[in-house]
């Protein structure tokens, strides 16, 4: 994300991401998370981080198609989703679709 002009806060697990979001004093504009992870799914992670940073945008990624998640309700309608594999241009295009200028 650095090459796109963003500062990234990396986390190795959902729990670490929540801890970093809790401890981060500044604004966090965007959470990029996989949908399926050990420990916690991406929606639950996004909800926890959004409770700490209510204005955060969320971009979900997965190797599965978005339709796979619709019946189980893991992703809500209207969320931003990017299917893996993708090139650097794909996230840049998806970020351009999000509201506001975050760069």
Element (H, E) at 34: strand 30-34
The tens digit of pLDDT for each residue in 23-61 reads 999 999 899 999 889 899 998 999 999 999 999 989 888
CATH no. for residue 59? Answer: 3.40.50.2300
Residue 66 domain-assigned (yes or no): yes
Residue 95 domain-assigned (yes or no): no
Range of the domain at 26: 2-86
Position 68 pLDDT exceeds 60 = yes
CB 74 within 8 A of CB 35: yes
Q: Three-state DSSP class for 57?
A: strand
42 CB-near residues (< 8 Å, 6+ apart): 33, 34, 35, 36, 60, 62, 74, 75
> What pLDDT score was predicted for residue 103?
46
The tens digit of pLDDT for each residue in 34-44 reads 988 989 999 89
CB 14 within 8 A of CB 37: yes
* Number of domains present in the structure of the chain: 1
HSE value, Cβ hemisphere, 13 Å, CA-based, for 50: 13
pTM assigned to the model = 0.76
Residue 100 domain-assigned (yes or no): no
């Amino acid at each position: 994300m650095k090459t796109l002009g963003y500062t990234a806060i990396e986390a190795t697990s959902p729990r670490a991401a929540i801890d970093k979001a809790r401890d981060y004093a500044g604004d966090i504009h965007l959470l990029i998370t996989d949908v399926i992870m050990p420990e916690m799914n991406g929606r639950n992670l996004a909800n926890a981080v959004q409770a700490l940073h209510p204005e955060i945008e969320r971009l979900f990624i997965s190797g599965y198609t978005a339709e796979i998640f619709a019946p189980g309700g893991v992703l809500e309608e209207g969320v931003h989703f990017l299917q893996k594999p993708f090139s650097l241009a794909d996230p840049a295009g998806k970020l351009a679709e999000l509201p506001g200028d975050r760069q």
